[in-house]
Every structure is written in structure tokens, then in C-alpha cells.
Structure 1
Amino acid sequence: MNFKRLLSTSLIAFLLLFLAACGNTDSNKTKEAEKATAATEEQVEVTDLILATTTSTQDSGLLDELIPMFEENFPYKVKTVAVGTGQALEMGVNGEADVLLTHAPASEQELVDNGDVQNYKRVMYNDFIIVGPKADPAGVKGLAINEAFQKLFDSSAVFASRGDDSGTHKKELEIWKSINVTPTENASYLETGQGMGNTLQVAAEKQGYVLTDRATYLAQKANYPDMDIAIEGDDALLNIYHVMEVDPAKNEQINNDGAKAFVEFIVDEDTQNFIEEFGKEEYGESLFYKYTE
């Protein structure tokens, strides 16, 4: 009798110890899982990435689509600084940005040659166009670009220039220079010192002409019902965009890992296909075209 009671007591004690051990094991597993989760969260800590770019990539709406796509797949929060290309490139030279997306190939090449930037890659292209009043008071519609600029100058037509050392401004000055004309000698030549969207608005208000990238114009065309494309399709109006990493040796604050991730993201085939399709449904044509070898 005593033996049976002893055996029962022993079994109960064993069961209690077993259950306690299981409880400790589950508790340890929970703690280990919590530690693993914390370690994982620490590994994917989001850091800032400064992108210096031209206003056309923002005014067209393209960055509004691309940035969330990038941030969804990479642990970086993009801080976009949309300025003229000249200013964006200067930020690169000064180490004030991590990655650049611009459209002034000749000026960009100077940074490449000087070692200010690296991993320089072509991203996309579209073209510049001349937009003016539908009535075309200067009579330039359909002319070759050089002939049109000469006629705009000779007729003292209102011309709105960005005047901000942007890629668009650089292209405009390049055309004036090619016909040996100083545009400021035209009293109706207006320098806004502003981005593409605002300069388009000034041209519309003054019933003047303006050189703009096609993407910005198409994205904002509905705002300017009295304006129309006067000149397009000239080989001299090709508009090419490049992306590049700022040299990380400039300072310790440069996020080179993030810059490299952004460059690889924007030239990735899926992103390139998205760029090519961007705007087609809404505007009836692509705002940008992907770069293919």
C-alpha cells in the first residue's frame, strides 16, 4: 500500500517537473525569437539618401512613382532635392548629395573626368520642344531649330528662359550660341530663374515661347490651353538623363551604399520598363524612353 502511494507521489512529482521544464523551454524560445526579431529590425534600419536631381523629373510626376518603389525594396528614405542640373551637379562636387540624376551630358562628363562622381550610367531620354501661343505670332511653327531661334530673336518675340543653369537652360544657351546670337539683346527675353513648371507658366501668361522638356509639358499641358508645340523632332533637341554616385571619399556622411542601390535600381530592367510606360495611358505617349544598348 505504502509502495503504491510512493509510486503515485513520484509520478505526480515527475509530471510537475516535466511541465515546468516545458514552460521554461517555451519561455526561452520566446526570448530567443524576440532577440532574433530585434536583430533583424536593427539590420534593416532605414537611413536617409539624398538625391539631387533636375526639376523635370519631379514636375513630370516620375519621381512620385519611382521613389516609393525604391523605398519599398531598399532600407533607405530618399530626400529629394529638385533643382536645376547645374546646381545638382554642384551639390555633387561639394559632397552635399549621395546620388545625382541629371540631364546635361557635357557638364556631367566633367565631373566624371575629375573623379567627383562614379558609376555613371545612362538612364532614359526624351526630347526638348519649343512651346508657344497657338496663334504662333512669330511664325516659327515647323521650322528647323536654328532657323526658329533666329526668327524669334529677329522678331523680338517674347521668350521665357529658365536662366538657372539647368540642363534645359544649358541646351537653350547652346542653341543661341550655335547661331551667334546673344539672347539678352532681345528686350522681350525673360529670365525666370525658376524651374520648368513655373517658367512654362510665365511663357503662357506673357504669350511667349519657351524651350521645355517634353515630359514636363505633357504633364502640365492641361494648364495651358492656349499653348501648343511649335517645334519638335530636331536631332539637336535630344534630352538624355544620367544617374551617378557621388565620390564617397568627399566626406564620411555620404551614403554610398544607398547611392549604389539607387543606381542599380533605376537601371534595372523592371524599372526601365516602368519608365517607358510612364504617362502612356494618361497622356497618350511616353514621357520618357528607357535606354537600351
Structure 2
Amino acid sequence: MHRRSFLGWTLALMATLPGAALVAAPPTSKVILLATTTSTQDSGLLDALIPRFEQQTGFVVKTIAVGSGQAIAMGKKGEADVLLVHSPEAEKALVAEGSGVNRRLVMHNDFILLGPATDPAGIRRRPAAAALQAIGTGSALFISRGDNSGTHAQEKKLWKAAGLDPEGKAWYQQTGLGMGQTLSVASEKRAYTLSDRGTYLALRKKLGLEILGEGDASLLNVYHVIEVNPARFSKVNAAGARAFADFLVSKDAQAVIKDFGIGTFGSPLFFPDAGKPE
């Protein structure tokens, strides 16, 4: 197991133990606690970015890869130093309440609707809302992350746009897991699901799923970096958080993001956006 994946797994496990509390690094520490999404981890992007940052700065990044909702909740409690997430409404609420500062645009990719090649609900090339209507009215199996992640938040918006409430329906199952694991479940059950493109491309050789829906404006997936507010949480490593956030929007990191995935998949998994207007 990769060292960084192991650290993230260990810290996530510690958080589940009775009485355990994750505490951000002290201000003078060279250790930075990054709370981020499973998509940045599962796609391999962090493995391309973090060693470069550590070599340049001397900081050491410990990663906890969870859903954006969980990462933002950590930020609200001062249990991380910096966040890299993709749930815009929740991000704005975090900053508005004063727990996060300096929210900056980093990159985007998009969400895609996946399913078996047989496409029993006939959603191929339909707009996202119409595709979900076809899945729901036909009772085809849909696998949701169900974990309050950015992907889950987007999925709920799409169901609302489709005029459907899937909660409690027999054809709607929630894993409570990250993106990679949810894709594996959907593949095993020959079901539909919503994914970010990067994670799917990184794992598709192991999956029996095809892209059946893509390209809608409603499927845009935008990532921001947010520093946890040191004025509210005294143990936050403010210097480390600022250094990592500055790195993500630097020309160097943006060039890595621009090229990431091209050699392996023939196309980038993410698109750099630093400095662009929202």
C-alpha cells in the first residue's frame, strides 16, 4: 500500500475509535493535515502532486481521503489544516460561518453517468435529468455513494431536477463508501451510478461499466482549496495550509494537473483553473 494511502487509512480509522479526536498539527509543525475527497486519492492525482510539494517546501502532508461533506465537517471542527473539496454550496457555507478562509479555485473535471453496456433503462446519450427519470420510472438498479460527499450532493441535485425522490426505493441502494468502492459495487451489481470522470478513468479496466451520460452543464465538477481558519482554531498549521494552498494554484502544480492522466489514459483527468473567474 502506498505510504500516503496508508496514512490516510490509519487516520480515518483512528477517527472511528471511541474517544478519538483528530487534531491539526501545531503551528510550528512541518506536518500538514489535508482533508480531501476520495476522487483526488483514487485517481492518483495526490501521488503526483504531494511528493513534489514536500520536496520543494520540507512540509510533510498527511492525507485523509473522505467525502467532501466529511472533509468540510473536519474543517468546521478544526480537525484539518487545509481542504481540497468539490461541494461548492457546502464550501461557501464553511467560509461564511468563519471556519474556512481563502477559498480558491483549483481545477475541474466532470461527473458522468455510468452503467452496464446493455443499458436496460435506455439512458445512453440522454440529458442527465431525463436519464435519471428513465432509471427511476423503470426501476433499474442505481448505486449511490450516500455519504454526503460532493458527488452525492450533485446526485441529489440531479434527482431533484428529474422530479424524483429515490430515497427508500428498492431500486436505489446506498453504499456509504468512497467513489472507487462504490464503482466496484455498481460494477458487480450491473447497476447505474454517478462518478467523477477522473476516478472512473483511473479504475475502468477493473470495471464492467461504460459512460452512458456526459456533457451536461449540470455535470460540471469543480474543486477548490480552502484553508482552515487559524483565528478560530489555534492549533491549525496556518503556515503549512497556506503553503499547500499556494502550491496547488501555482504554475508548477497547475502544469502537473494539466498533464495528469494523458500518458496513461490518452486524456487529462482534471483541468487546471487557478486564477480563472468562477
TM-score > 0.5 by shorter chain: yes
**TM-score when scaled to structure 1?**
0.83
Q: Deviations over 1:241-267 (max 9, x none)?
A: 000100002332210000000010000
Residue number in structure 1 paired with 2:5 = none
Identical columns (%): 50
CA–CA separation in structure 2 for the residues paired with 1:46 and 1:186:
49
| Aligned pairs, number | 248
Note the residue ranges of structure 2 that are not aligned, 5 or more in a row.
1-27
Give yes or no for contact 1:153–1:186 (8 Å, CA) kept in 2. no
Which of 269, 279, 293 lines up with 2:261 in the alignment? 279
CA RMSD of aligned residues (A): 1.1
Which of 61, 82, 93 lines up with 1:110 in the alignment? 93
Give yes or no for contact 1:46–1:75 (8 Å, CA) kept in 2. no
Residue number in structure 2 paired with 1:178 = 161
Residue number in structure 1 paired with 2:252 = 270
Residue number in structure 1 paired with 2:198 = 215
Q: 2:53 aligned with 1:73, yes or no?
A: no
CA–CA separation in structure 2 for the residues paired with 1:49 and 1:98:
6
Secondary structure of 1:126's aligned partner: strand
**Shift of residue 134, structure 1, vs aligned partner:** 0.7
Q: Which moved more, 1:229-238 or 1:171-180?
A: 171-180
Which of 37, 41, 64 lines up with 1:54 in the alignment? 37
Which of 239, 253, 267 lines up with 2:235 in the alignment? 253
Instruction: Give the structure with higher Rg (CA).
Output: 1
Secondary structure of 1:131's aligned partner: strand
Residue number in structure 2 paired with 1:228 = 210
Q: What aligned pairs does 1:238-249 form with structure 2 within 5 A after superposition?
A: 238-249=220-231
Note the residue ranges of structure 1 that are not aligned, 5 or more in a row.
1-44
**Shift of residue 230, structure 1, vs aligned partner:** 0.4
**TM-score when scaled to structure 2?**
0.87
Q: What aligned pairs does 1:53-202 form with structure 2 within 5 A after superposition?
A: 53-202=36-185
Give yes or no for contact 1:102–1:241 (8 Å, CA) kept in 2. yes
Q: Which is richer in helix?
A: 1
Q: 2:244 aligned with 1:288, yes or no?
A: no
- Superposed structure 1 runs of 4+ greater than 4 Å apart: none
